[in-house]
């Protein structure tokens, strides 16, 4: 897991060419006016999913993990908490959903506040729970860039 501000994205572009493509997309796109939905960056290898939503209470959520994709999550507007835990030997609460590439796990997690202009990178093995409210429910615009492993 990596959490940082947009202006520090250059520190991570050497991780892989696909991560570089994802971070360049964030840095070189007018994210505020980006339409909701899917935006291809490199076909099915790197693509952005833009959404707007209301944050939710963590007690109603579970951690997720992916096998085929790395998540690069960038908060355009608003703020939320993102839960994190390493994938160890926790029992899953559901079987792997191959078509949507996720498995759910029950909490607990450590939470970090992610504000507008910040991003988080979650690798396979990084359990994460995005979209969690801070002190109260708030509106968030977020770009999740899916990066094929």
Please tell me which of 19-28, 85-94, 98-107 the model is most confident about, judged by mean pLDDT: 19-28
Average pLDDT estimate for 83-108: 92
The yes or no reply on domain 2-148 and CATH 3.50.50.60 is: no
Terminal-residue alpha carbon distance, the chain: 15
> What average pLDDT does the segment 63-78 reach?
97
Asked if the model's pLDDT at residue 107 lies above 90, the reply is: no
Strands (E), 9-78: 37-42, 46-54, 63-65, 69-77
* Ramachandran class of 76: left when φ > 0, alpha when ψ lies in -120 to 50, beta otherwise: alpha
Segments making up each domain of the chain, as ranges: 2-148
Which residues are within 8 A (CB) of 35 and not within 5 positions of it... i.e. 6 or more apart? 50
pTM for the whole structure: 0.95
């Amino acid at each position: 897991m990596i959490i940082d501000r947009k202006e520090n994205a250059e520190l991570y572009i050497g991780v892989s060419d696909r991560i570089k493509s994802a971070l360049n997309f964030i840095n070189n796109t007018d994210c505020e006016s980006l339409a909701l939905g899917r935006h291809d960056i490199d076909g099915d290898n790197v693509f952005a999913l833009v959404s707007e939503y209301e944050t939710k209470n963590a007690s109603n959520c579970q951690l997720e993990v992916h096998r085929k994709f790395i998540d690069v999550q960038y908060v355009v507007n608003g703020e939320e908490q993102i839960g994190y835990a390493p994938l160890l030997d926790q029992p899953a609460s559901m079987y792997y959903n191959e078509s949507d590439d996720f498995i759910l796990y029950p909490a607990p997690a450590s939470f970090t506040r992610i504000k507008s202009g910040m991003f988080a990178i979650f690798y396979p093995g990084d359990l994460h729970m995005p979209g969690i409210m801070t002190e109260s429910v708030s509106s968030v615009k977020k770009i999740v860039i899916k990066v094929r492993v």
